[in-house]
Amino acid sequence: MAGYPKKPKEVSEFGKFLYKSQDEIRAVQNENLQKQVVLLEKYSPYYSKLFKDRGISSADFKTVDDLEKIPSLNKKDYMADPMSFRLTIPPDAPVQPHERIMWGVHYTTGTTSGVPTPFFSNTHDYFGNIMQLARMCEVGAITNNDIVANIFPLTPVPHIGFWKTVDYCIASGARCVSAVTGSKYDPFPIHNPLDHAVDMVERYRCTVLSGIVSFVRRVIMRAEELGRDFSSVRHCFVLGEACPQGMRNDMRSRLENTGAKNPFICSGLGFTEMQGTTLECTENGGMHICAPDLHFLEIIDEKTGKRLPDGEQGLLAITHIDRRGTCFLRYIIGDITTLTHETCPNCGRNDVRVEMQPIRTMELVNIKGTLINPDILKTEITEIKGIEEYQIVFTKEDKKDPLSLDKLEIKVAIAEGFAKDDVEKQVVARARKAVEMTPEIVFVDMKEIFDPTKTLKSQRVVDERPRVE
Ligand SMILES: [Zn+2]
């Protein structure tokens, strides 16, 4: 069975929290929320105003169910005034220095204005984060015996990928080697090419590959091409994109070609606002959130704003229940998914799990008047053998005429030894099945779709259609 089940040999004191009952976890969440809203009322410019405007006070929040008294928070409201979400704790406040000293800042991507949005953490938050990451490593079976290859790029804007990989090694005692890939910066030529990552994994006998799904796959493909020895790799901890079964199978079989034995392809949903990631304890087993005492997750109905029960699809939202830097209540992450509170059948933990591979809300596309989910199409394409890279392009029949018909185009880079005709037939059939449309297939070079020296990850979906106002 691929993706070996893992039961940790040792569980840390704080790791035991995840084995408490649902009721015990919920009681801690309620207690923490009560303390958090007192802080928000006093020190959060945004929430002190919101509470006043709505005629409510911190005393109105007894349990996490009371969160429905306030509306969910959208990314654009946070982006409009990020500083108003940061607690302004005065120096003479009756708190520990940890709670008001700024430890660091990360930025979220996906802004429309092109200006990254800061997310601040205080010392209190960082220490809590180390606990969260230590638990995360226990869930994902990363231990102090591991050598982690950090193949997240070192980016101009500090994102969580690179830094939280370093931090989870601090938290778990694993050794960490960083490839320092990414776009070049002339004044300091510190960045390395992809081949450096390949060398590093082999030389240091890395056991865990940690990075963005499509980039980690490229490192593996290159190792395969060069006939390198990746027999030490037992675990791929891949984030930043969905990781459908076809992608897992592809990465695993390529890794096995480099000597690895049945590696675990571990998918997670990471986001800045939780300073880390949810992750799987076994493949397709749901992604544990690891710190239900720091974060309360819920699924919100897009239309009514109400919380949805387990198993129902909606918008994923996070509420911080023990933070001191940037703090949110019911913040919409931008993914559609489902949650489950069921005890994990694989590891026995009781923290909530993100059940479905998330769909980014921005990725739902209207083409020819029909709203389609490109993720379903991606899942289908990854099932086809012989495709090195692909890209789904929404364009126009006549590219010069913005009013001409929408067209679905799929760019495909084909692997050696595969017949174009055959691959084309399969892509067309799969597309028809997934989105009930017939695509035009365009064969291109792998680099035209994704050049790891230029971008962080492959852009699987491109909408080239001009906006008609
Ligand atoms: Zn589990």
Contacts of 354 (CB under 8 A, 6+ apart): 269, 278, 286, 287, 289, 297, 316, 337, 338, 339
Retrieve residue 128's tokens.
Answer: 């809590």
| Confidence category of residue 155, pLDDT binned at 50, 70, 90 | confident
Instruction: Please state which CATH number belongs to domain 364-463.
Output: 3.30.300.30
- List the one residue out of 220, 192, 194, 193 whose CA is nearest residue 206: 220
Q: How far is the CA of 2 from the centre of ligand 1 (A)?
A: 15
Q: What percent of the chain has pLDDT over 90?
A: 71
Q: How far is the CA of 209 from the centre of ligand 1 (A)?
A: 20
Q: How far is the CA of 133 from the centre of ligand 1 (A)?
A: 15
Q: How far is the CA of 336 from the centre of ligand 1 (A)?
A: 21
The Cα 281–Cα 289 span in angstroms is 11
Q: How far is the CA of 451 from the centre of ligand 1 (A)?
A: 35
Q: How far is the CA of 398 from the centre of ligand 1 (A)?
A: 50
Retrieve residue 149's tokens.
Answer: 């290859």
Q: How far is the CA of 353 from the centre of ligand 1 (A)?
A: 8
- List the one residue out of 29, 47, 31 whose CA is nearest residue 331: 47
> Among 21-30, 93-102, 153-162, where is mean pLDDT lowest?
153-162
Q: Does an H or E element contain 461, and which?
A: strand 461-463
Q: How far is the CA of 167 from the centre of ligand 1 (A)?
A: 22
Q: How far is the CA of 280 from the centre of ligand 1 (A)?
A: 7
Q: How far is the CA of 138 from the centre of ligand 1 (A)?
A: 10
Q: What is the pLDDT of residue 8?
A: 55
Q: How far is the CA of 20 from the centre of ligand 1 (A)?
A: 13
Give the predicted TM-score (pTM) of the model: 0.84
What one-character-per-residue DSSP string does 202-236 give? HHTT-SEEEEEHHHHHHHHHHHHHHT---TT--EE
CA dihedral 72, 244, 212, 2 (to 10 degrees): 120
- List the one residue out of 448, 467, 468, 444 whose CA is nearest residue 458: 448
Task: Give the pLDDT confidence of 224-281 residue by residue, as tens digits.
Answer: 999 999 999 999 999 988 788 888 999 999 999 999 999 999 999 999 999 999 999 9
- List the one residue out of 277, 285, 230, 288 whose CA is nearest residue 254: 230
Q: How far is the CA of 273 from the centre of ligand 1 (A)?
A: 22
Q: What is the pLDDT of residue 111?
A: 46
Are the C-beta atoms of residues 233 and 207 closer than 8 Å to each other?
A: yes
Domain assignments of the chain as residue spans, ordered by start: 364-463
Task: Give the pLDDT confidence of 363-385 residue by residue, as tens digits.
Answer: 667 777 677 778 788 888 988 99
Q: How far is the CA of 137 from the centre of ligand 1 (A)?
A: 12
Q: How far is the CA of 281 from the centre of ligand 1 (A)?
A: 5
Task: Give the pLDDT confidence of 5-54 residue by residue, as tens digits.
Answer: 455 567 889 999 999 999 999 999 999 999 999 999 999 999 999 999 99
Q: What is the pLDDT of residue 403?
A: 73
Q: How far is the CA of 282 from the centre of ligand 1 (A)?
A: 7
Q: How far is the CA of 244 from the centre of ligand 1 (A)?
A: 19
Task: Give the pLDDT confidence of 429-467 residue by residue, as tens digits.
Answer: 998 888 777 899 999 998 888 887 777 777 888 888 876
- List the one residue out of 154, 75, 67, 69 whose CA is nearest residue 116: 75
